[in-house]
């Protein structure tokens, strides 16, 4: 049975009051595929004018802070660290995003890390859509989590380069 | 050159003041892949107790309204319609999401439609993560847009079933 | 059938794109009942130190602006006027709230007016709860609406003094 | 004297820094009265298509998380549990809402529970207003609180069925 | 008499429903003074690693969109353009900020332009406070406004370089 | 090097997970200069009708709570106290604002105090701009901070009266 529902089938914000506050970490990733010309433009900007990745990184950090506002049953949490890595990969004509989020809390920060990835990638789409409307966001997934009752978890297969 | 930057390379919210208000529509899609057992659980809830898709749909609608808060250079917009379709597809062990957003405005609503898809799919992840941490969000993309100077656009290939 | 659902029973933000923008007005009311001593304290503050009603009024105005963030299927709207009247009524040991909201838009502003009333009354509760935990909010209802296809509507019976 | 004002009569966010973090719980209730036909429609949807109560429940949970944004002098708080019960009562031609909120914190969660009730009931109004504009929200009140210096409190008389 | 109050002295959101939608523009400015070493560090980052001004610019743009959420009696507005210029001025050991905001609306965008300046400068403070806690924000003011009944206005004296 | 950037020069939300939660306090100040006639009007309202300072005070308190939403790399924090003092100073034809913010946390509350000052002063501008468009916000700065690894800090020179 899904924990986000009561026995009667009604959505609720799960009771985590009895859980201790422990150190939590989550790492999520995802990528946006685009035309090679678009990727080239992004890479040029990163070194000079028009820093698409800088804007996307900030949007992701701010997005992580808004997670509980956006995901209905997500517990509001303080965050002690948000780090976002954006890596252009010419081979795949993609930009990969990796977000690491940490806190001391009663619930994990997987949603915050995934939300950061989604908002970062969406922001790249926004900034490049005028020249490449067909970009696609893919492979958004949790890579690793640590802390809490369920302990350490790591995705077996690795997609990111 | 990317329009979201000034000639000097500085990010700005592009001037759309001279554009007329016209009817705009955007359709975006994406999916979340999961274990078949998870999908089965979701499908059961849709017909009875524990309606994951109902929660995800609402989150997506509300997410569409928050787009300009989340995407740094996105223009704030009223929306006249938001519709979200969530379709479990057993063959692919996935739930597909399709969001249609419309407005009368000076800019398009692609970002709102994509944002709705992202938040809907993230919400599915949130509700099922306790039983299936490895779910993956993919193929988030614009399918169609109408209205505005650039006119009608439709993705050539179709991914959704 | 309820318009907020599709024929398939799924919640959506109703399409109002074909409606013209017209002048809309809504008037809502409600009250909070309390101990007479609490009311007296509020009335004293209104004329001197500790202006409970001033704080509640502002909270209501700001709450009206947040309506579309709070009510899932509510269309985002600009507002052209928000006015909140708070009237202590000793006879009923109550403070009555009346909110008038106006806009030029494709949908009505009933929700905004009701939301303003709710947030105003909740704020009174917040400020006085340390001395009167049992206060009760009642009779929150639409009094009048004007504009739009459904035209003018006015509640037949009057509750407020 | 009301604690939300300084001795000089100026509104402030009360200093709770010296209070210990303890387990807090609040239970609030309220109801929305409507035509019997409206209630019937809601009850049918709860079992099939058009789940008004499901939407209202989610709105209430999300509303609880926004309390400190809405109520000016309310302390921002994490929440460890939010549960919302919506009960159609044919006798009274009403839907009753009961919200339970819990946290570990320095202040109580009465406002969060009341806010959840208000937003849930407003959402029911929103979804049914096209067929029953005269619905009325009443009897929104605190039922019980536990935790903190003032200890346990319970409303003497019971309104809900 | 101040227009933000009713004749009875109560705050309200002024009725602008009768005003036509016209093109509006506002230009605001301000600066943050700091130690010369701090300014040097900022200037180096602007050309290479650690782009303080890039972050501040984005924060200002996003801040402009939040104005009606922050300023109680401010009308919610769409914005059609936001542009922020940040200029290090070695002579004054300051960074100057200039924000230009435009819309088609019933009220002016002075508050949005000032809010953008304030949030941009605060963000610079945030990023540099670990090395220069004594930075000071000054000379935040409207420079020019155009559109609306009151027409064009321009500050007589010029402070920015 | 600025701590808000990684060694690679990318903005991040600094890791504070290893810091203990300690009592934090920050005091910030600033002022808005205006025509003497405007100040007189404000002072009259403070004692009677049209309480500009009351509105500004509330806006500042609410603004403090929104700091992490506005400042990109700022950690989200609970606040245990917010106090705002607004003092008209006829000699300088100014209103001074002083904000005190406290929490128990892993990071300081300087940004919250400064943000409260900025939003309070902006709100005064908003309410008086129709009669005095040229008002200027100045001298927004940290006055004192306590708590945390860097300990107590106090600005040497005093600007406020």
Interchain CB contact of F21 with D (< 8 Å)? no
Task: Compute the average pLDDT of residues B66-73.
Answer: 98
Question: Can you give the pLDDT at residue C84?
Answer: 98
The CA-based angle C45-C51-C57, given to 5 degrees, is 135
User: Which of C8, C43, C72 to mutate: most D Cβ within 10 Å?
Assistant: C72
* Contact yes or no for C52/C121 (Cβ under 8 A): no
Decide if B51 is inside a domain: yes
Residue D72 has phi, psi (to 5 degrees) of -55, -40
Residue C81 has pLDDT above 90, yes or no: yes
Question: Can you give the pLDDT at residue D48?
Answer: 63
Pairing label, strands B22-33, B136-146: antiparallel
CA distance B116 to B143: 14
Name chain F's partners: 3 or more CB pairs within 8 A. Answer: A, C, D, E
Decide if E159 is inside a domain: no
Interchain CB contact of D83 with A (< 8 Å)? yes
Question: Can you give the pLDDT at residue F151?
Answer: 85
Residue C61 has pLDDT above 90, yes or no: yes
Confidence of residue E157 (pLDDT cuts 50, 70, 90): confident
Q: For the range A97-101, what are the long-range contacts, defined as Cβ-Cβ under 8 Å and sequence gap of 24 or more?
A: A97/A29, A97/A30, A97/A31, A97/A32, A97/A56, A97/A60, A97/A121, A98/A27, A98/A28, A98/A29, A98/A143, A98/A160, A99/A27, A99/A28, A99/A29, A99/A60, A99/A64, A100/A25, A100/A26, A100/A27, A101/A25, A101/A26, A101/A64
Decide if A119 is inside a domain: yes
CA distance D117 to D102: 14
Q: Which chain F residues are within 8 Å of C51, Cβ to Cβ?
A: 51, 54
> Is the Cβ pair A4, B127 closer than 8 Å?
yes
Decide if B161 is inside a domain: no
Q: Which one is catalytic: E91, E126, E139, E159?
A: E126
Residue A39 has pLDDT above 60, yes or no: yes
Number of CB pairs, chain E paired with chain F, less than 8 A apart: 163
Decide if B4 is inside a domain: no
The response to whether E75 counts as a known ligand-binding position is: yes
User: Which of E50, E52, E54, E56 to mutate: most A Cβ within 10 Å?
Assistant: E54
Tens digits of residue pLDDT in B17-59: 999 999 999 999 999 999 999 999 999 876 666 799 999 999 9
The response to whether E74 counts as a known ligand-binding position is: yes
What the block records as the tokens of C125 is 């509760």
Nearest partner of F11 among A60, D51, C129, judged by Cα: A60
List beta partners, residue C101: C26, C82
SS3 content of chain C, % helix, strand, coil (to 5): 30, 30, 35
- For B46, the closest chain D residue by CA position comes to D48
Greater model confidence, C9 or E27? E27
List beta partners, residue B77: none
Task: Compute the average pLDDT of residues A99-103.
Answer: 98
- Which residues of C sit in the known binding site for substrate? 73-75, 111-112
What the block records as the tokens of D151 is 């200890």
Confidence of residue B149 (pLDDT cuts 50, 70, 90): confident
Nearest to D23 among A17, A68, A106 (CB): A17
* Contact yes or no for E141/E153 (Cβ under 8 A): no
Decide if C48 is inside a domain: yes
Alpha-carbon distances of C79 from C99, C109, E131, rounded to whole Å? 13, 8, 44
> Is the Cβ pair E51, A55 closer than 8 Å?
no
Residue D5 has phi, psi (to 5 degrees) of -125, 145
> Is the Cβ pair F13, A82 closer than 8 Å?
yes
Question: Can you give the pLDDT at residue C48?
Answer: 62
**C-alpha torsion angle, residues E65, A59, A63, A23 (rounded to 10):** -140
Name chain B's partners: 3 or more CB pairs within 8 A. Answer: A, C, D, E
Three-state secondary structure call for residue E8: coil
> Is the Cβ pair D125, C111 closer than 8 Å?
yes
Q: What percent of chain C has pLDDT over 70?
A: 94
Q: Which chain A residues are within 8 Å of D102, Cβ to Cβ?
A: 15, 17
Interchain CB contact of B45 with D (< 8 Å)? no
The response to whether F29 counts as a known ligand-binding position is: no
> Is the Cβ pair D5, C125 closer than 8 Å?
no
Confidence of residue A49 (pLDDT cuts 50, 70, 90): low
Interchain CB contact of B15 with E (< 8 Å)? yes
| Helices and strands in chain B: count of H runs, count of E runs | 4, 5
The response to whether F128 counts as a known ligand-binding position is: no
Which residues constitute the domain of residue C60?
22-148
Nearest partner of D124 among D106, D97, D147, D143, judged by Cα: D97
Greater model confidence, C46 or A120? A120
Number of CB pairs, chain A paired with chain B, less than 8 A apart: 163
> Is the Cβ pair B12, E82 closer than 8 Å?
yes
Nearest partner of C133 among D150, F100, D41, judged by Cα: D150
* Contact yes or no for A124/A138 (Cβ under 8 A): no
User: Which of C12, C14, C20, C111 to mutate: most B Cβ within 10 Å?
Assistant: C12
Interchain CB contact of A119 with F (< 8 Å)? no
Tens digits of residue pLDDT in C85-106: 999 999 999 999 999 999 999 9
Interchain CB contact of B111 with E (< 8 Å)? no
Residue A3 has phi, psi (to 5 degrees) of -70, -20
Decide if A9 is inside a domain: no
CA distance C137 to D109: 17
Task: Compute the average pLDDT of residues E116-137.
Answer: 97
Minimal CA separation from E50 to chain A, in Å: 10
CA distance F13 to A82: 5
Active site (annotated) includes residue E126? yes
* Contact yes or no for C92/C109 (Cβ under 8 A): no
Confidence of residue A151 (pLDDT cuts 50, 70, 90): confident
Nearest to E2 among F50, F63, F140 (CB): F50
Q: Which one is catalytic: F15, F69, F91, F126?
A: F126
Residue C160 has pLDDT above 60, yes or no: no
DSSP annotation string for chain A: --TTB-TTS-B-B---TTSPPEEEEEEEEEEEE--HHHHHHHHHHHHSS--HHHHHHHHHHHHHHTHHHHSTTPPP---SEEEEEEEEEGGGTEEEEEEEEEEEESS--HHHHHHHHHHHHHHHHHHHTTT-TT-EEEEEEEEEEE-STT--EE-SS----
Site of tokens 């300690």: F22
Q: Which chain F residues are within 8 Å of D77, Cβ to Cβ?
A: 78
DSSP conformational letter for C20 = P
CA distance D42 to D55: 11
The domain total for chain A is 1
Alpha-carbon distances of B6 from A51, C148, E50, E115, rounded to whole Å? 11, 42, 20, 21
Identify the helix (H) or strand (E) that includes residue F107: none
Interchain CB contact of A54 with F (< 8 Å)? yes
Interchain CB contact of C55 with E (< 8 Å)? no
> Is the Cβ pair C125, D114 closer than 8 Å?
yes
Tens digits of residue pLDDT in C11-57: 999 999 999 999 999 999 999 999 999 999 999 876 666 799 999 99
The response to whether B74 counts as a known ligand-binding position is: yes
Q: Is C144 exposed, middle or buried (0-12, 13-18, 19+ CB in 10 A)?
A: middle
Question: Can you give the pLDDT at residue D44?
Answer: 87
> Is the Cβ pair C81, E17 closer than 8 Å?
yes
Q: Which one is catalytic: D15, D126, D139, D159?
A: D126
Model ipTM value: 0.96
Decide if F35 is inside a domain: yes
> Is the Cβ pair E51, A54 closer than 8 Å?
yes
> Is the Cβ pair E83, B11 closer than 8 Å?
no
Residue A140 has pLDDT above 90, yes or no: yes
Residue C161 has pLDDT above 70, yes or no: no
> Is the Cβ pair B55, D55 closer than 8 Å?
no
What the block records as the tokens of C105 is 């838009």
* Contact yes or no for B95/B34 (Cβ under 8 A): yes
CA distance F33 to F128: 12
Kindly report the CATH number assigned to the domain that includes residue E144. Answer: 3.30.70.640
DSSP annotation string for C48-60: SS--HHHHHHHHH
* Contact yes or no for A130/B3 (Cβ under 8 A): yes
Q: Which one is catalytic: C15, C126, C139, C159?
A: C126
Name chain D's partners: 3 or more CB pairs within 8 A. Answer: A, B, C, F
List D residues 141-160 in contact with C (Cβ-Cβ < 8 A). Answer: 141-142, 145, 153, 155
> Is the Cβ pair B17, E104 closer than 8 Å?
yes
Nearest to E58 among F72, F115, F155 (CB): F72
Alpha-carbon distances of F21 from A19, C143, D104, F106, rounded to whole Å? 19, 50, 15, 5
CA distance A85 to A96: 8
DSSP conformational letter for E95 = E
Task: Compute the average pLDDT of residues A93-97.
Answer: 98
């Amino acid at each position: 049975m899904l924990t986000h529902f009561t026995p009667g089938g009604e959505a609720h914000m799960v009771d985590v009051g009895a859980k201790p506050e422990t150190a939590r970490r989550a790492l999520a990733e995802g990528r946006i595929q685009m035309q090679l010309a678009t990727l080239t433009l992004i890479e040029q900007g990163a070194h000079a004018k028009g820093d698409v990745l800088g804007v996307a990184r900030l949007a992701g950090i701010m997005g992580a802070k808004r997670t509980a506002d956006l995901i209905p049953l997500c517990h509001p949490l303080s965050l002690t660290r948000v780090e976002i890595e954006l890596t252009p990969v010419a081979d795949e004509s993609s930009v990969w995003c990796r977000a690491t989020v940490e806190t001391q809390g009663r619930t994990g920060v997987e949603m915050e890390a995934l939300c950061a990835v989604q908002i970062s990638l969406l922001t790249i789409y926004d900034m490049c859509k005028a020249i490449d409307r067909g970009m696609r966001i893919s492979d958004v997934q949790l890579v690793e989590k640590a802390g809490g009752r369920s302990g350490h978890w790591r995705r077996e297969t690795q997609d990111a380069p």
